[in-house]
Structure 1
Amino acid sequence: MNTPVAPLVDPQVLERIRDWRGYAEAKLGFRNHWYPTLNSAEVAEGKPVPFQLAGENLLLNRIDGRVYCIKDQCLHRGVPLSRKVECYSKDTVTCWYHGWTYQWADGKLCDILTDPSSKLIGTRALKSYPVEEAGNLVFVFLGEGTPSPLARDLPPGFTDANRRVQPFRRVVNANWRIGAENGFDTTHIFIHKDSRLIRGNQTMLPLGFAPNPNSDEPLFEIRHTDGGNIGVFDLLAERGVPHFEGSVKGEVVCRAIHGGDKRIAHEISLWMPGVLKVDPFPDPAMIHFEWYVPRDADSHWYIHCATKVVAGPDADAEFAAEYEALWKDLYAHGFNDDDIWAREATQPFYQDDWGWLKEQLFEADACIMAWRKLASEQNRGIQTIGRHG
């Protein structure tokens, strides 16, 4: 069922954006893409869990080890099934209001407890969503028809052999695009100049990078993964000029902290539908991935993953213990909390859409513009509220 809705983005703004209009329209993200949702451990056998993705309310459940996902809204009167979950068999869920009962596997209305002779039984179905698991995350395909392979929406290296993943999910009160551009913005590292990670992990990080005035080399590249995904590599750190001192009117007012000789963040890239890869980070032996998953128009799920290649029968437990003992505080909070603060401070400027026209970008933002154009051209659909029945 398609229901007409008002535009999510101010039409006057869209009329003035040419090169990346699709991205500007995608306040709720993209359709027909895979997004991570819950951690695998959060979806226990026979214990349904709700989740909000791109303005849609979902209900996930694990049955015989496999995760299923249906729309969290009864077809009858529109109430959320999650308000009071009732499952009288492991493969069905029953609405607490009037007894409409649905199959987890396909959302089909298989019974109505208050009227078992209803002609609607077997003729209606809740929307169901394809589900796959990778890297301790549950991925949901937000779209219609046969889903594309999950690999098409994963960053390179995420599923490498023996790569252990520790996901950490938080709600950030800013649109997902603000999150993506914050993570991909090379010069935003200025806000991390006092991070605990720099000293605590003997790390070296400048205040920022500037384009080399003596070079015409591009500051970004478009690349593809073997699985078919596409992304932008930010080359400013490689081809630009690092700055370890900041001056105001010729006087040095701040200097980057040199915690040690460890060099991190050699390669930074942003991939569809909105996932950042920082290699290496936060330590030379690790790679950092973070997704900016749309929750609604004004917030996103910030799912950041510390990863490390660790072999052996106890590898998962070993890395989990290392993460809890060191990295969760030192970088997940000691570094990434800065980004959350910055995104939420940026959100009001863009909330009414006019910020996209009022902003004044500078040379170092070439990679952000490249990302906007790529996302506009390579997305497989724009998510809108009310169109999906």
Structure 2
Amino acid sequence: MEAPITFVDDRLLRKVPSWRTYLAAKLGFRNHWYPIKLSREIGESQIVTATLCGENILLKRIDGKVYALRDRCIHRGVPFSEKLECYTKGTITCWYHGFTYKWETGELCDILASPDSKAIGRQSVKSYPVQEAKGAVFVFMGDDDVKPHPLCEDVPPMFLDEDLALEGDSYMVQSNWRVGCENGFDGLHVYIHRTSPLVNDTQRSLPVGHTANSGQIVLHEVDGQPKGVYDEFAHHVSLWEGQVEGDVVVRGVRNTRTDGVPTRTTAASLWLPGVLRVDDFPDAGRHQFEWYVPVSEDEHYYLIMIGKRVTNPQEALDHEQEFWNRWKPVSLDGFNNQDIEARLALQKFYGRDSAWLQEMLIEGDHPIIKWRELCHRHNRGVQRPDHL
């Protein structure tokens, strides 16, 4: 059963005019591409269920290509997934009355219980554009009359570069997607990571915080290109001691690498519709991409991918093995799990619409406000309950 969806009170929206559509976007933005599964999770002829922006979806790989349909028969609204029936490779049949649809287009091509119905060939179940790239399956969550724009406009720069080898894994997190975005882009939350095993594993220096130079924030708002906020950490003034009433109670971690490799993250950027890129992370010469994909009001699909430049298949294989043997346990499970813990705590507060107006942000949160405002200016539509 689909979870009930609630509107945001219009009186609250009027209080944040510069980012009101962001506040309204509990279920994310429409007319954007989102990763919905890793490619390896959908085998040939396999049917996989997923939920994106509150819409329940079925995915199937047919002759190598993935297709996506709304998991709801147009006749009486029952989910196909309650009892899957596929009598031919290219169709799916509703178990209730035999309404049969083509995976490729969603067209109603037969009704087993009423083969002479005039509805055949004239009606369709919603189908979604699908594109695979870099080991992920992307679905376009959009209006029927909107032609999907190129995928490159909804992923961070360099993600689609041919020489960037990517490996990743995913999690389901019980918090809103916006909480995920803001946790990832929050420069001050470095404080919670000082105990991460990644710090010593990579000989990384990690301060307890910093004073952000808000003037260094760069907005990317060029038509036809990804829209995002870029925060170059190199311009931050790091704090290596945390004090309470003048006494040092917490210290950052200072490591010195003997190979001359920089020991800190150089930059983070956050891009529509909700994906973070962190450069030189989890180590120098690597780039981490984190998607916070709306599932429901209080759940998001957290996809983490680590990329490295390669020049041949062997280097790509080495990166794959390094991901599973090193970065998966040390970085994803050892570092990013601390972020998941923080989001679960944040959701207890931000799960209420009014909480977004009760927060008390400070100077170091300037990038978060810029992110909200950018989303307000450049989103292509808000997913609302009437779309479901």
TM-score, with structure 1 as normaliser: 0.94
Cα distance in 1, alignment partners of residues 317 and 333 from structure 2: 21
Code of the residue aligned with 2:46 in structure 1: it is: K
> Contact 1:34/1:153 (CA < 8 Å) preserved in 2?
yes
Aligned-partner residue type, residue 43 of structure 1: I
Equivalences for residues 196-211 of structure 1 within 5 A: 196-211=197-212
Q: After TM superposition, what 4+ stretches of structure 1 lie above 6 angstroms from structure 2?
A: none
The one-letter code sitting in structure 2 at the alignment partner of 1:256 is G
Deviations along 1:151-192, one digit per CA (max 9) or x if unpaired, are 110101101122111121111111000000000000111000
Are the aligned partners of 1:219 and 1:367 in contact in 2 as well (CA < 8 Å)? no
- Give the paired residue count: 379
SS in 1 for 2:166: strand
Say which SS state the counterpart of residue 263 (structure 1) adopts. coil
Match in the other structure for 1:238: 234
Establish whether residue 258 from structure 1 lines up as the match of residue 254 from structure 2: yes
| Partner residue in 1 for 2:59 | 60
Structure 2 counterpart of 1:171, one-letter code: M
Counterpart residue number, 1:337:
337
Cα offset for 1:314?
3.6
| Whole-angstrom distance in 2 between the partners of 1:197 and 1:224 | 34
CA distance, structure 2, for counterparts of residue 257 and residue 232 of structure 1: 28
Q: Is the 1:101–1:112 Cα contact (8 Å) retained in structure 2?
A: yes
How far off is 1:114 after superposition?
A: 1.4
User: Can you give the 5+ residue segments of structure 2 that lack an aligned partner in the other structure?
Assistant: none
* Preserved contact between residue 279 and residue 287 of structure 2 (Cα < 8 Å): yes
Contact 1:198 1:258 in 2 (8 A): no
Is this contact kept in 1: 2:203–2:263, CA < 8 A?
Answer: no
Letter in 2 for 1:202: Q
Residue 151 (structure 2) aligns with: 150
Alpha carbons 2:34, 2:138 under 8 Å: kept: yes
Q: Secondary structure at the match of 1:69?
A: strand
Distance 1:211 1:164, change over 3 A: closer
Could you tell me how far 1:29 is from its partner in structure 2? 0.4
- 3-state secondary structure, aligned to 1:337: helix
Q: 1:319 to 1:84 in 2, by over 3 A?
A: farther
The runs of 5 or more residues in structure 1 that have no matched partner are none
The answer for the alignment partner of 1:249 in structure 2 is 245
Check conservation: 2:242, 2:249, Cα contact below 8 A: yes
Counterparts of residues 1-389 of structure 1 (less than 5 Å): 8-144=7-143, 145-211=146-212, 218-224=215-221, 228-235=225-232, 237-261=233-257, 262-388=262-388
Give, as a single letter, the amino acid of the residue that structure 2 aligns with 1:191. I
Would the alpha carbon gap of residues 226 and 321 (structure 1) be closer, same or farther in structure 2, given more than 3 Å must change?
A: farther
Secondary structure at 1:133 match in 2? strand
Q: 1:308 to 1:226 in 2, by over 3 A?
A: farther
Give secondary structure in 1 for the equivalent of 2:147: coil
Contact in 1 for aligned 2:30/2:380 (Cα 8 Å): yes
TM-score of the superposition, structure 2-length normalised?
Answer: 0.94
Residue 283 of structure 1: how far off its partner (Å): 0.6
Instruction: Measure the CA separation in 1 of the matches of 2:355 and 2:313.
Output: 51
- Tell me by how many angstroms 1:205 deviates: 1.4
Provide the C-alpha distance between the structure 2 equivalents of 1:337 and 1:27, rounded to a whole number of angstroms: 23
